[in-house]
Structure 1
């Protein structure tokens, strides 16, 4: 079984290996588990993704006033369309989630952090094109 966290309600769903994850729906809220675009999540939902998901989680930490974040937003979405459900793409608004942003050690935005198995495995700051995001994530 593969554990997939719902970005809408935070429920952990168990999916049989080999099943098309892109077609999966949440057992609690009945929404699509993957929508081909990054979900803007709260600190609590992000922490569930990190702790309980068997799928690597790529987080874009951003803020609405940040010019480079506005440029990277569509690029991050384009990368999500290509890579989900192999990777989970989520966005964390650093203004609305200042405590978690501080605990994550965010010093500049946009910052992308890759989590796998509950641990941070990579981090990069600065705006990137979708192709560069995917190349970086594949490393």
Structure 2
């Protein structure tokens, strides 16, 4: 399995039998899984979503958005619970105009699940934890995870 390091962007290979262990980057020695979403910008977005063998769930948000702020702890909690099933990332739409435009982000928060660089499913609006977990499982079912 291949995982992109959230710190330096290096591609790391982890044997399938070790995918539920913390793991550390071979280049920068930082943790590959630390239970927190990765902040992505225009420069590193494509590499992160395309070079991970796990699906990547991206939260498009903005600092001025009340629903985004309300959903942030729920998203972080899901990241801690499901970090070995999928990668979690956040994209601040105020700082990433090219990426936000590319994916036609019109409403925030917007969640997009990617697998191997392709969009699998999308959801606009904030959800409480049980509904978010249900949506994630339904989206993962679309890719056979």
TM over 0.5: yes
Deviations 1:63-93 (A, max 9, x none): 1111100000001001111111111011000
Q: What is the DSSP-based 3-state SS (H/G/I as helix, E as strand, rest coil) of the residue aligned with 1:106?
A: coil
Deviation (angstroms), 1:44: 2.5
SS in 2 for 1:53: coil
Q: Is the 8 A contact 1:15 1:21 kept in 2?
A: no
1:21 Cα deviation from its structure 2 partner: 4.1
TM-score, reference length from structure 1: 0.94
Q: Is the 8 A contact 2:6 2:32 kept in 1?
A: yes
Q: State the Cα deviation string for residues 6-64 of structure 1 (Å, max 9, x = none).
A: 11111111111111444110111111001112121222322112211100000000011
Unaligned runs of 5+ in 1: none
Match of 1:37 in 2: 36
What value does the CA root-mean-square deviation take over the aligned residues?
A: 1.1
Residue 103 of structure 2 corresponds to 104
Partners of 2:27 and 2:60 lie apart in 1 by: 27
TM-score, with length taken from structure 2: 0.91
Matched residue pairs, number?
A: 138
Q: Provide the C-alpha distance between the structure 2 equivalents of 1:81 and 1:132, rounded to a whole number of angstroms.
A: 16
Secondary structure, aligned partner of 1:61 = strand
2:5 match: 6
Q: 1:20 to 1:54 in 2, by over 3 A?
A: closer
Query: For the residues of structure 2 that align with 1:130 and 1:49, how far apart are their CA atoms?
Result: 25
